[in-house]
Amino acid sequence: MAAMYEALLKHKLCRDGASDTTEALVTQICLSEINRNNTMGLKISLLILIHIHQKPTNAGVIRSWRHVEVEVFHQSITSEIHSRTTPAQRLAPIATPNANARQMQRTRDFCRTIVQGIQAQMLRLEIRNEKLFFVETLPDTTTWVLNVPSVTLSSIIEHECIKESTILRLFICKAVARAVWQLYGSGWWESYCTIDNFRFVWASSGKDALPELRVDKPFFYNDMDEAGEDDGKPGLSHKAPMILALGIILLEVELGIRIENERVKSALSMTGDVDPNTDLLVAKGLCEDDARWRERKDVRPIIMNCITGNTFKSSNTPEEIRQTLFRDVVEPLEGLLVEKEKLGDHSVEGYSIPDACTAFGSFKVAENPQSTSPKISNTTVEFISTRIPDMKQNPNSETVSEEPWKGSCVGTQDLPSIPLNEVNAGDNSVRSPNLSPIESSDGTVHHEQEQAKYDGTFFATSPTETSLKEPGFFETLRETWNTRLEPMIDDKPIKIAVLDTGIDMQGTQFDSPMHDDFRERRAIRFQNGIPVSDEKGMPQYSRIKNMQNFCGGDAADVQDLDGHGTAVAGIILRLAPETELFIARICVGDVAYGVTEDKVSPVDKDQVLNPRPSVIKQAIEWAIEQEVNIINMSLGFTTEHDEVKGALELACANNILVFAAMSNGTNYKPAAWPANELTLCIGIHSCTTGGHRSSEFTPQRAEKNPNFSVVGEQIPVHWPTSKGGGFRLAQGTSFATPVAVAMGALVLTFINQERCEENMESVSQDVNPKNLFKPWGMASVFTKISDTIDIHYSKIQPELLWLKYKGRGGKSSRKHAWSIIENALNPSKLFEDQVDQTRQHR
């Protein structure tokens, strides 16, 4: 299969061919097993779209389908295949990658053979050493109707006939799963596919027989992308994206729904595209909905396994994944089908289910009223449905197209592009950085090389009040503050700058008990889903000392229209009680995120929608002017940017700690910049609420980096007033980062305490405590108070400097904490730790 894909890709039909043809290879592929002379093989049926340039007329481009059949056998029977051909049909190669004139003539001849065929020609192709061979043979007993559009699987899953037939659904699921198993790792199935990629073709068993929709033979649609293999949806929190795609398709077939109809508007990214992880969480939710599976319990665990990927976690190579796919998906589906047939359910093997024209009811086959003979070529097919986007045009319609190979006759709609971006919270939806040109206030268009991307989003649906509960990690961190730190009124507060989408400062009073206004005291816990405020604390807004807008418009306008910045700032306010915040609004973000269109706030055309390196540079310089101690950057780039790097180096020189999100690229993507560069900042990964393993969406470990991790899942965050207020649950390294910022702020708050003056003087004889304001210094302390998870990540413990201390508070508690700091900052101790780590690895 892989060899055939590569050969067809190299020898796209009609490439460099005759002047009367143009390259066009849009295929549909159908697979079935065959047995010849006791040798198992694979028969691949390809429907190939051919385009023929006509003389200058109004006809434009004529599209026509031709049927090609490929039989792939073991090399041992090659001689047998040769013997079945006549001398005139002897195997001839169709051009090698370095084709000479003679070979190219063969290519042209091959193209003409297909193009000039009056009936659907059956061709047997063979692949040998990446060369393509062909032999013309006779048609088989099934005649595919080639002058009518194919029908997508998505067009029929909601039909009552399928919804009411357990065995029909099961048969389609088995056929699709088996095709995926056969295609996996071969090039054909290397893009994230949807239910629209599976199609059915009409067939006739004889001259007088009416066409039937062969639902027992699903065709897989592929446009032979020259871009090569794709690893699926970038940013997707699933080890095997193609298995997830299969799981979603099976889910849609079994439940008779479209996954896109289960999404809400808040699941869209800034560009309006679908966030990669949205469908993953929506699918998980559907699988856990017991009401939908009352009569489908037997197939539920099979589908759930594809969606969660549980049994695929130990499968690393494509071949291992294929074996697991066959064992845990294909075989169980086939077993269920056999069970149903034994129980007397109608068998569907080998033909349409049963005769498609009667079984489906909504399929209507009508003769052309102007035709005197019921020839198939004059047959039109009408599918009575509100969802039939790919039947707008017949394959032989005469319509001019600038890019005809896009397949306007089979699937006229383009599949939605899947952007690279970041993961959401509960539904893990991913937000795109939106790389489209941005118009500035002077009317010029700036084509940024790359824009920073946020790494987290929110739950697509509002959670119930009782679902709001903070991770135990937060409770422990808050207990550390209450029992180990001893702040006094005269203590110097730690200043934190948040570079994000601004902050929501609109609300004053709201009826909803869910609302936690920044004008109120901070929430210290959630009881029955309702935030409980700190009665002794001060209003949160009083801790916000300065705000600046860098994205156009009024410099004082920092109102958050997205929600991302509000969420980040709220986490810091809740977890680091004595800190002061400085809000830098570096972009507008996604105004439409999480709201209906009629409630979308207007955005000035001059405002920056997404972060730009130049804007981030200005915001960092502003934070330096404000003399902050920490900068939170829940964003990142895939490559380094000089202007941002220069600003970060300046911050470092001014003893300002910078924390940045590692991004949500999953283990298949590297960490983002600047989070992956310890000399500039401390990068933060995300771990699960229990802290026992890293989050599925957290990226690969960064080289020469401690790869710190904190809880970044199921975090209650503030939701902007303009979008309903209250709290939402969120996840992503964007939200793990402010958690780590709060922890770093608590460490700095501790050393700044008036009670610690004596301890600081004592320790200063050997180390410089001010090095805690540098990335390497804080990283050294974090290393001392971290545990290793998943081998590559270091989870910072919420007990902070008192991780292994069980004594009382007061002097002994402070002494223990300062011993941790001294050991961390002592160069000789650092060398000893490195030696110990090296020995452990050996």
- What residues act catalytically? 500, 564, 734
Give the integer Cα–Cα distance in Å for 560 and 762: 46
Decide: 406 and 223 in contact? Cβ < 8 Å: yes
Q: Rounded to the nearest 5°, which phi and psi values hold at 601?
A: -75, 140
User: What whole-number distance in Å separates Cα of residue 603 and Cα of residue 502?
Assistant: 14
| Exposed / middle / buried, residue 224 (Cβ in 10 Å: 0-12, 13-18, 19+) | middle
DSSP track, 248-263:
HHHHHHHHT--GGGG-
What one-character-per-residue DSSP string does 283-312 give?
A: HHHHHT-GGGGTT-TTTHHHHHHHHH-GGG
Contact yes or no for 409/393 (Cβ under 8 A):
yes
Tokens of 247: 């799981």
Residue 748 in contact with residue 770, Cβ under 8 Å? no
The three-state (H, E, C) secondary structure of 532-577, written as one string: EECCCCCEHHHHEEEEEECCCCCCCCCECCCCHHHHHHHHHHHHCC
Measured in whole angstroms, how far is the alpha carbon of residue 739 from the centre of its chain?
A: 24
Q: Whole-angstrom Cα distance, residue 839 to residue 834?
A: 9
Please report the beta strands in 98-211, taking only residues with DSSP state E, as ranges in sequence order. Answer: 122-128, 131-137, 143-144, 151-152, 198-200, 202-204
Whether the CB-CB separation of 431 and 271 falls below 8 Å is answered with no
Q: What residues contact 162, with CB distance under 8 A and at least 6 apart?
A: 156, 168, 169, 172, 253, 256
List strands edge to edge, sheet with 715-718: 457-458, 727-731, 715-718
d(CA 66, CA 219): 14
C-alpha–C-alpha distance, residues 189 and 731, integer Å: 30
Peptide bond into 798 cis (omega under 30): no
Rounded-to-integer distance, Cα 443 and Cα 763, Å: 57
598 three-class SS = helix
Q: Show Cβ contacts of residue 248 under 8 Å, excluding neighbours closer than 6 positions.
A: 194, 195, 259, 279, 283, 307
How do 151-152 and 143-144 pair as beta strands? unpaired
Adjacency order of strands within the sheet including 131-137: 92-93, 131-137, 122-128, 61-72, 39-53, 27-36, 219-222, 198-200, 151-152
323 and 315 Cβ atoms separated by less than 8 Å? yes
CB atoms within 10 A of CB 396: 14
Q: Judge whether 21 and 8 are in contact, CB under 8 Å.
A: no
H-type helices in 346-434, by residue range? 356-359
124, 44 contact by CB (below 8 A): no
Per the structure block, which two tokens stand in for 138?
């006779």
State the Cα–Cα distance between residues 775 and 680, nearest whole angstrom. 7
Residues recorded for the chain: 842
Task: Identify the CA nearest to 379 among candidates 202, 234, 245, 500.
Answer: 202
Please provide the distance, in angstroms rounded to a whole number, between the alpha carbons at the two ends of the chain. Answer: 43
Q: What angle do CA 569, 570, 576 make, to 5 degrees?
A: 90
